[in-house]
Amino acid sequence: MRIRLVAAAALVAACAPAQPTPSPQPRPGPATPARADSTRPGPGGVSAPNANPFPSTYKAPPTRTTLIRNVTILTAAGPTIRNGTVLLRDGKIAAVGTTVSAPVDAEVVDGRDKYVTPGIIDDHSHLGVYAAPGADALSDGNEATNPVTANVWAEHSVWPQDPQFPRALASGVTTVQILPGSANLIGGRSVVLKMVPSATVQGMKFPGAKYGLKMACGENPKRVYAQRGPSTRMGNVAGYRAAWIQAEAYRRKWDKWNADHQGDPPQRDLGLETLAEVLRGNILVHNHCYRADEMAQMIDIAKEFGYKIRSFHHGVEAYKVADLLAKEGISASLWSDWGGFKMEAMDGVRANLAMVSAAGARAIVHSDDPSGMQRLNQDAAKAMAAGERIGIHTTEDEAIKWLTINPAWALGLDDRIGSIEVGKNADVVLWSGNPFSVYSRVDRVWIDGAPAYDRANPASWWRTDFELGNVPLAGESR
């Protein structure tokens, strides 16, 4: 919505799942044949698919086997399990069901009247790139100097001491896609982070997550570039197409060189390298797009150049083309009830998520907002209720997917996170009650099986460096 919004994060794709790529440097293509040419490119000199120059250094903390029992489990993978038990061992979900017994070494958490869900995933956030407190010095989300900045990477703007991170965690959010803003037609790469404290952004990066690419439709780019252009929606479309034409030429040139290593390697271009990775299917496109008509046009552009759109973000009019989204296999990342703040947001309706979901498309609750991010479950509840009022019934088993497995899919991580299933990463939230109730709070959060948040133990809470001395501890008076 706001200009700081949206943008698909380009994830560094394609490392071995769950393993940070050990090599910090891109390598020349496939097993390098002996070459007559003695001028070998140095590290970084070659445009290599799936290069990972800023690898994750995240290491899951030591865990203790944990058994959460007597809970209602919304699994996002099947029907609700009443009086269920979840076993977390070695960072993974080791067992789930009604007849799981406690290993002798397990810490047992009794959750009578409580609920367990997968960790919440927000696929649209600007934490760290628009950190709190709001100040020009911390405004790093839009490289609004050129309408196409595919060359920038959101992770290079993320401030790990943003006090918004621990607040997201305390509301059950365990994985977040950080996107560049929406000032530009093509805003740059996104990054997927775990909500864990770290002095470096590399320490927060989700190992093996793909990058995303942020694109933006409509009002924001044409407003920001009104003087130099694009100043119209048709100018926007010409801008996307021009970029993809360049990207396709670049991809061919490099794919050829990577295959045959004939002659000097072409010169790298960071922006085109990112776009070429989209064309190769290694980076996922996250497209800020409010209006139904523009979504349809972006789908045609994607077909023209042979890439896929993974998710339309802020699609306040997604309900108007829900059948098209379902047919094309494109998810819709939505708010329940933001609307009206600008012309292209006028037609926002609260049942949007329910309508998109009912049409068979993947509906996702996203935030684009550090406050809304803390209540994504409530946004889902509002959309469920609004759907109910127009005759669209959404079960809790479906709605939990809007918050977990569907955004996991949008990030290409649905094989690792987003549901309570054996083998998945043990990213788990214990709620004081039904997460779709206004009165429920997050009691505990585990990430990779390790305790990440415990409401009852304020001394254990993650406080960023910024907060020391600046932000009073809860309950503490200055």
Partner 1 sequence: MTSGICGRPPEAGRWEAGIERGGRFRIRCRPLYIGTVCALALAAIAVPALAQTIAITGGKVYPVSGPAIENGTVLVRDGKIVAVGASVAVPGDATRIDATGKWVTPGLVNALTGLGVSEIGQVQQTVDRGARGDNAIAAAFPVWEGINPASTMFAPARNEGITSVVVVPTGGLVAGQAALIDLVPGTVSDMIDKAPVAMVAQFGDARAGGTNARGEQYARLRELLDDARVYARRRGDYERGQTRPFAARRADLEALVPVVEGRLPLLVNADQASDIDAVLRLARETNVKVVIAGGAESWMMGERLAAANVPVIVGSMNNIPTSFSALGSRQEAAALLQRAGAKVVLIANGSGGEEVFNVRNLKYDAGVAVAYGLTWDAALRAITLTPAEVFGVADRIGTLQPGRDANIVVWSGDPFEFTTRAEHVFIRGREVVQPSRQDELMDRYKQAPPAYRKP
From the list 20-28, 51-59, 152-160, 430-438, the region that binds partner 1 by CB under 8 A is 430-438
Size of the site for partner 1 (CB under 8 A): 63
All residues at 6 or more sequence positions from 282 whose CB lies less than 8 Å from its CB, including other chains: 13, 14, 49, 50, 210, 211
Toward partner 1, which CB reaches closer, 55 or 435? 435
d(CA 96, CA 159): 37
Q: Work out whether 372 is an interface residue with partner 1 (CB under 8 A).
A: yes
Nearest approach, Cβ of 310 to partner 1 (angstroms)?
A: 21
Toward partner 1, which CB reaches closer, 409 or 436? 436
Toward partner 1, which CB reaches closer, 147 or 372? 372
Among the listed residues 313, 320, 362, 416, the single contact to partner 1 using CB under 8 A: 320
Among the listed residues 242, 441, 457, 460, the single contact to partner 1 using CB under 8 A: 441
Toward partner 1, which CB reaches closer, 300 or 304? 300
Among the listed residues 349, 363, 411, 447, the single contact to partner 1 using CB under 8 A: 349
Question: Under the phi-then-psi rule, with left for phi > 0, alpha for psi from -120 to 50, and beta for the rest, what region is 318?
Answer: alpha
Q: Rounded to 5 degrees, what angle do the CA atoms 266, 268, 274 make?
A: 125
Nearest approach, Cβ of 420 to partner 1 (angstroms)?
A: 23
Q: Scan residues 455-474 and list those touching partner 1 (CB under 8 A).
A: 467, 470-472, 474
Q: Are strands 363-365 and 428-431 parallel, antiparallel or unpaired?
A: unpaired
Among the listed residues 181, 339, 412, 451, the single contact to partner 1 using CB under 8 A: 339
Toward partner 1, which CB reaches closer, 213 or 361? 361
Each residue 143-172 as x (binds partner 1 by CB under 8 A) or -, in order, gives --------------------xx--x-----
> What is the residue whose two structure tokens read 């979504």?
295
Among the listed residues 95, 132, 296, 450, the single contact to partner 1 using CB under 8 A: 132
Each residue 378-397 as x (binds partner 1 by CB under 8 A) or -, in order, gives x--xx-xxx-xxxxx-----
- H helical segments located in 261-411: 270-279, 292-305, 322-328, 352-358, 376-389, 396-403, 405-410
Nearest approach, Cβ of 225 to partner 1 (angstroms)?
A: 16
d(CA 464, CA 80): 36
Under a CB-based contact definition with an 8 Å cutoff, are residues 1 and 314 in contact?
yes
Which candidate, 291, 366, 362, places its Cα nearest to that of 124?
366
Q: Work out whether 322 is an interface residue with partner 1 (CB under 8 A).
A: yes
Nearest approach, Cβ of 195 to partner 1 (angstroms)?
A: 15
All residues at 6 or more sequence positions from 422 whose CB lies less than 8 Å from its CB, including other chains: 92, 93, 94, 95, 96
From the list 51-59, 83-91, 230-238, 340-348, the region that binds partner 1 by CB under 8 A is 340-348
- The residue ranges of DSSP E strands in 31-150, in sequence order, are 66-73, 81-89, 92-97, 107-118, 120-125
Each residue 215-244 as x (binds partner 1 by CB under 8 A) or -, in order, gives ----x-------------------------
Nearest approach, Cβ of 55 to partner 1 (angstroms)?
A: 31
**3-state SS assignment for residue 50:** coil
**458 preceded by a cis bond (ω within 30 of 0):** no
**3-state SS assignment for residue 389:** helix
Among the listed residues 440, 449, 452, 453, the single contact to partner 1 using CB under 8 A: 440
For 137-196, give the DSSP string.
GGB-S--TTSSB-TT-BGGGT--TT-THHHHHHTTTEEEEEE---SSSSEEEE-EEEES-
Toward partner 1, which CB reaches closer, 297 or 437? 437
Binding site for partner 1 (CB under 8 A): 1-2, 132-135, 163-164, 167, 219, 319-323, 326, 337-343, 345-351, 355, 358-359, 369-372, 374-375, 378, 381-382, 384-386, 388-392, 436-441, 467, 470-472, 474, 477-478
